Amino acid sequence: MSLPSETAIALPPAPPSSVAPRRSGWRPADTSPLAVLSAVRGSSVATELRAEEINAWFGDHKVLDRVSLTMPTGQVSALIGPSGCGKSTFLRILNRMHELVPAASMSGRVMLGDQDIYAADQRVTSARRRIGMVFQKPNPFPAMSIYENAISALDLTGVRADRVVKDFLVEDSLRKASLWEEVRHRLHQPAGGLSGGQQQRLCIARAMAISPDVLLMDEPCSALDPTSTRRVEDTIGELRGQVTIVIVTHNMQQAARVSDRCAFFLAAQGQPGVIVEQGPTDDMFGSPRDQRTRDYVEGRFG
Amino acid sequence: MTTLTSDLDPGDFGEPRALTTRYSLTDRIFRGTSRSAGTFVLLVMVLVGGFLTAHAVRAISSVGVVKFVTTQEWSPETNHFGIAAVLTFTVLIAMVALTVAVPLSLGGALFITEIAPPRLKKIMTSVIDLMAAVPSVVYGLWGLSYLQNHVVGLSYWISTYFGWIPLFKVDGAEPGNPLPNTALYTSSTFIAGLIVGMMIIPIQTSMMVESFSRAPQGEREGAYALGATRWGVIRSVVLPFGKGGIIGGVMLGLGRALGETIAIYLIISPVFSVSFHVLQNGSNSVAAMIALRYGEANSFAMSALMAAGLALFLLTMAINFTASMIISRSRSGAESEV
Ligand SMILES: Nc1ncnc2c1ncn2[C@@H]1O[C@H](COP(=O)(O)OP(=O)(O)OP(=O)(O)O)[C@@H](O)[C@H]1O
Ligand SMILES: [Mg+2]
């Protein structure tokens, strides 16, 4: 089951001030559990993400050339294209992970709502908090339990929450990732003991626990078996509407199944990657305008 | 569908098969060489331990184990000797060394792996390696002729303000005196420990750097992607992963500190009565005592020194053994691999 909205949840009577932000300057004025929850979890509304004129380099090597893409509120956008055309690079620019690579640089703007996340007054940590990410290889923290993994973002960003709020967040995020039923009886066992597919859904739960506005996924199913892949796809379906999703995939059926919109990336030999065509998934697969798109989605090259 | 058939006779099931392997010639040579190297290392350990024990028996049996462990003085000539004082000072010096070295190595290693830009990282790594290559007698000389003069002021300050803590008390200190008698603060456990601390920083640091830099990139990025600060990543990924390396480094440093001879020999002025006043003039160590006394020792005194050596040997063995147990139980090396 998925929980429709926060207000529908009955929490036990309010402990006074259950959440105290450690570093960040804010403190919820209203300290009832619901207000506290929404303070922890931010605005919790899906938001439009818009990349404008993105260029990217690794050292002198240019890998993206003036890429612009709008990822509409609450929809699933798929990025497709052959290997090495810059999909991962583009995705990592969307939540400022690109700059972790030494010698990597970029230009352009990434607008989250009406805010440029690269603006000088924006903190890189708050951009990453609002734009979550799931990686190709499941990467839960193996030394932590499932429970601790699910709410690791609170600890990592210096938000202190009490037991009631934590319990709620763990259940809520694990439900969102369709993992709750499988792990509810072993929450305190190490996350390393889960199967690959479960680990990947735990990573989705971990990202969802702080209610990001956007969720980025880089080939989230490529390390998984068909059943786990199905579960993750179902999870994406459940999250549609609650959060704006951007997914990179090499699997055309998957792109067709899960996405509302699609963007086809291509890099000509020795050239930086560009978006050849983008639009609603049905159009991209049914009646592509560009011959290269048609060839690619029909599996004829790439 | 066909039924499964097997040429194995049904009684064979459940019986484990004897597994035989044929090795190629190169493989056999390699196995032989590495096995004999391993055996040789073990043999040397056993020989050293056996040699020490054999020679120590005479001295220990003449005073008894209990007296040997509890006596503070060291005068084999009058059959009155024991390791209570030297061993205590040895441990105290090692503790001072660790107190100084562990935070510095930990901070240094985290700086090198997590914060320093690539260029600086290279430079710092080679400086650390260089520090490790400096012979201990050089550290000793430097400590004696330079560091000591600059540290007595600190010793004086600590003993003035924290002298009420027994550890920092200095007998005969005159806190109000505008011209304090600095000789009271020289050649102390504290200064010896400080020098030894400098010496063990490089081994500890390089061991920690080694283990921190192996922390899986996937987990680091996972933490950063959740909005973690650098400190958050260090706390939740790097330190838990590097725990084995930290403990290993500390234990390696401790072993080195306990066995350090020449630098301590140069700095301390030997005393043979237990004192926990680390800032006060006068200290000792097992290794330094052996170096100091063996020249004038007759065969019985030599046996007594062997006994002291044996005690140190057993102590370091116990520490290393504990360390390897702790390391093997911690997680270093394991990843969130599927
Ligand atoms: N860390 C890096 N350092 C240097 N070059 C890089 C780095 N990461 C990627 N590149 C280069 O950038 C280009 C785009 O890589 P990217 O990983 O974005 O491709 P991709 O579309 O995600 O490919 P795949 O589908 O195989 O994952 C490639 O030419 C690659 O060689
Ligand atoms: Mg990629």
- Number of domains observed in the structure of chain B: 1
SS3 of residue A58 by DSSP: strand
Nearest to A98 by CA among A127, A68, A77, A139: A127
The verdict on residue B104 lying in a domain is: yes
The verdict on residue B321 lying in a domain is: yes
The verdict on residue B19 lying in a domain is: no
The verdict on residue A103 lying in a domain is: yes
Note the pLDDT tens digit of each residue in A234-259.
989 988 988 999 999 999 999 999 99
Nearest to A132 by CA among B234, B227, B232: B227
pLDDT at A299 > cutoff 90: no
Nearest to B195 by CA among B243, B133, B257, B130: B257
Question: What pLDDT is attached to residue A27?
Answer: 42
The verdict on residue A138 lying in a domain is: yes
Note the pLDDT tens digit of each residue in B74-132.
999 899 999 999 999 999 999 999 999 999 999 999 999 999 988 999 999 999 999 99
Note the pLDDT tens digit of each residue in A88-118.
999 999 999 999 998 899 999 999 988 999 9
Domain that holds residue A274: 53-143+213-297
Question: What pLDDT is attached to residue A143?
Answer: 83
The verdict on residue A284 lying in a domain is: yes
Question: What is the DSSP track for B118-183?
Answer: HHHHHHHHHHHHHHHHS-HHHHHHHIIIIIHHHHHHHHHHHHHHHTTSGGG--TT--TT-SS--GG
Note the pLDDT tens digit of each residue in B317-328.
998 888 888 777
The verdict on residue A259 lying in a domain is: yes
Q: Which residue has the tokens 């390391």?
A: B327
Residue of A137, A152, A155, A216 to mutate for B, most B C-beta atoms under 10 A: A137
Round to whole Å and give the CA distance between A279 and A255: 13
Note the pLDDT tens digit of each residue in A31-52.
455 555 555 555 556 789 999 9
Are the C-beta atoms of A169 and A191 separated by less than 8 Å?
Answer: no
Are the C-beta atoms of B268 and B288 separated by less than 8 Å?
Answer: yes
The predicted complex's ipTM stands at 0.84
Q: How far apart are the first and last CA of chain B?
A: 35
Nearest to B223 by CA among B213, B231, B233, B214: B233
The verdict on residue B301 lying in a domain is: yes
Question: What is the DSSP track for B265-298?
Answer: HHH--B--S----TTSB-B--HHHHHHHHGGG--
Residue closest by Cα to atom 12 of ligand 1: A63
Round to whole Å and give the CA distance between A149 and B273: 54
| Backbone torsions φ then ψ of A121, nearest 5 degrees | -90, 5
Question: What pLDDT is attached to residue B96?
Answer: 96
Residue B218 CA to ligand 2 centre (angstroms):
14
CATH number at residue B142: 1.10.3720.10
Average pLDDT taken over every residue of chain A = 84
The verdict on residue B144 lying in a domain is: yes
Question: What pLDDT is attached to residue A3?
Answer: 40
Task: Give the pLDDT band (50/70/90) at residue A192.
Answer: confident
Task: State whether A128 and B229 contact (CB < 8 Å).
Answer: no
- In chain A, the residue whose alpha carbon lies closest to the alpha carbon of B332 is A143
**Better-predicted residue by pLDDT, B20 or A283:** A283
Question: What pLDDT is attached to residue A24?
Answer: 42
A131: which 2 tokens? 């734009």
Average pLDDT taken over every residue of chain B = 88
Beta pairing, strands A61-71 & A49-58: antiparallel
Q: Which residue has the tokens 């098969």?
A: B17
Round to whole Å and give the CA distance between A32 and A35: 5
Domain that holds residue B209: 46-337
Question: What pLDDT is attached to residue B11?
Answer: 56
Round to whole Å and give the CA distance between B198 and A109: 49
B252: which 2 tokens? 């390696």
Question: What pLDDT is attached to residue A132?
Answer: 93
Question: What pLDDT is attached to residue B330?
Answer: 64
Note the pLDDT tens digit of each residue in B150-207.
998 899 889 888 888 888 888 887 777 777 788 888 899 999 999 999 999 999 999 9
Are the C-beta atoms of B187 and B267 separated by less than 8 Å?
Answer: yes
- Name the minimum distance, in Å, from the CA of A59 to any CA of chain B: 14
- Number of domains observed in the structure of chain A: 1
Which of A244-248, B236-240, B331-335 reaches the highest mean pLDDT? Answer: A244-248
The verdict on residue A150 lying in a domain is: no
Round to whole Å and give the CA distance between A138 and A204: 9
Indicate the angle between helix axes B299-329 and B239-259, nearest 10 degrees: 180
E strands along chain B, which residues?
A: 74-75, 80-81
Task: Give the pLDDT band (50/70/90) at residue B263.
Answer: very high
Question: What pLDDT is attached to residue A231?
Answer: 86
Task: Give the pLDDT band (50/70/90) at residue A25.
Answer: very low
pLDDT at A179 > cutoff 70: yes
CATH number at residue A245: 3.40.50.300
- For chain A, which residues lie within 8 Å of any Cβ of chain B, measuring from their own Cβ? 95, 97, 100, 102, 125-129, 132-133, 135, 137-144, 152-153, 155-158, 191-192, 195-196, 199, 203, 206-207, 210, 223
The verdict on residue B202 lying in a domain is: yes
